[in-house]
Structures are given as structure tokens and as C-alpha cells.
A = this chain, B = another copy of it.
């Protein structure tokens, strides 16, 4: 995907809503900076509920909401349970009032928003990493960086791309049902769960994303699975949650590393995973390692 295609698709998602299209294109054109990534209609989780933001800038953790915060009712939220929800607890939210503003006031708010974005980029200094659409889904980018941090907004298009960050080169079309063992750090599983109730699993993640509950939806499998994990492990997992992302593709979003809480886990409640770090070390792949040694 090129930036051109990406931008086209992002903008096209706003086309049905005329003022939203006007405001979003205004911000993007006046910002005029192809190093800045933006996502339209980003689903977000907040302590006050789920919803979506009209415009989200992941590099600077900045959200724009046009006219009103889109609260989802439970039914809508359930329907969207596989979407790429991100946690925006610390996100700055700029609200733009369109419906009650004359056009010059709408333009003024666009200009203010652009100024705010520019000054956030300036404040970040070298911590601002230019958007690189060609490389952002690429394992090599993260291997070179040395780690994945939850603040990096790290998503992969396939399980293999994610798993390839941790020391091995897997077959291109590989998929794993439960996950794959970390080849460099023993006792760790790289896990690709659906973190919502689905046909096979009744998983969930807390709003602050520090706790995951895992249990089978199959009554015959439920207890044996819990006992198997408790007894055999591994008890630590690097988690890439399976989400339906932009453009209808499936993505795997990095959620951090979680450890099994053996005390809290039981046959009734399921396996309880607690987040212990929001950063994971990456490793060169087998071939690359050979070349380098």
C-alpha cells in the first residue's frame, strides 16, 4: 500500500458525512505533512465507554471529534466487538463544533487544530517518528528498532509477520490456532487471541487492558483447557489481539506481555492474565542472525 492509496481510503470513509469530510480534509490539507499518519473513524475504548473518533493521530496521541462524541449503545458495541478498538485514556481530544458554527468559524477551528498538531510534533522532537507506510507492517522495521512498545501503535497484517519479530522465519502462509512458542525466550507463547466472545472462546479484556480472561465456550473443553494451561504453561504470553481494522482487513495489534495469575484462575472464572509489561524485545530472524555471525 502506498501513502496515496492509504490516504484515499481514509478520506473515502468520511464521504457520506459532508461536514465531516470538509473538516477532515481541511485538517489534512492544511497540515500538509505526509510524515503524519491519520486514521478516520478509529474505534476507541475509554473509561466512560466505547465509541469512535472521527480522526486519530497515533504518533502524537491526538484525537479529533466532530460535533459529538459517538457513544455506542451495548448492541452497537457488541456488533463491533472484533473491531480494532484502541485505548485512548491519555489521548488529547479536540472537539470541533460544525453544526452551530458559520463557515469562517469552522475554518478557524480547523486552523486551531492544525496548530495544535504542529506544536505537539514540535514538542515531541526526535521522539516523533515519521510515518512510513511501506514499513509499518514489516517485521524488519521492528527487529531493527529492537523492541515493540504499546505506544508504537504496532499492528501486523498476518500472524507470521508478528511472529517473525522474535527470532524465526516462518513459512509465509503459516497460521497457528493457539499461538506459537517464542524461540528465543523460553516459557513464552506468542498468542493471537480474539479478545471478545466468539464461537469457540469467551474471552474478554478489561477497559484499561491490564487483565484478560480466557475460557472456552465449549463446556466439554472448558475445564480441561484451563487445567492444561495451568499445569503445562507457558504462563507468559506476548499478545497480538486479532482485530478487524481499516479497509476490512484483519490485523494483529500488539497489546503487551501478560502473565497467568495462577491464584485467581480457576475452572469457573477461567484463566486470568495480567499485563506485566507494555514492551517486548525483538530478535533478528534465523537467516539474518546467520549472516551477522
From residue 9 to 49 of chain A, which have CB atoms closer than 8 A to chain B? 9, 11-12, 15-16, 18-19, 21-22, 25-26, 29-30, 32, 34
Does A106 touch B at the CB level, under 8 Å? yes
A103 to B16, CA, bound (A): 23
Q: How many residues of A contact B (CB 8 A)?
A: 26
CB contacts (< 8 Å) of A32 on chain B: these are 30, 107
A120 to B32, CA, bound (A): 23
A217 to B14, CA, bound (A): 48
A103 to B2, CA, bound (A): 9
Q: A2-B103, A25-B26, A30-B30 are in contact. Are A8 and B19 (CB under 8 A)?
A: yes
Q: Do B11 and A22 touch across chains, with their CB atoms under 8 A apart?
A: yes
Set B8, B18, B103, B107: member contacting A22, Cβ < 8 A: B8
Q: A21-B21, A26-B25 are in contact. Are A4 and B103 (CB under 8 A)?
A: yes
A11 to B26, CA, bound (A): 12
Q: Do A104 and B34 touch across chains, with their CB atoms under 8 A apart?
A: yes
Chain B, residue nearest A7 (CB): B103
A34 to B102, CA, bound (A): 12
A-B contact pairs, 23 of them (CB 8 A): A2-B102, A3-B102, A3-B103, A4-B102, A7-B22, A8-B19, A8-B22, A9-B18, A11-B18, A11-B22, A12-B21, A15-B15, A15-B18, A15-B21, A21-B25, A22-B25, A25-B29, A26-B29, A29-B29, A29-B30, A30-B30, A30-B32, A32-B107
Q: Can you name 12 extra interface pairs (CB under 8 A) apart from A11-B18, A25-B25, A25-B29?
A: A3-B102, A4-B102, A4-B103, A8-B19, A8-B22, A9-B18, A12-B18, A21-B25, A22-B25, A29-B110, A30-B30, A34-B103
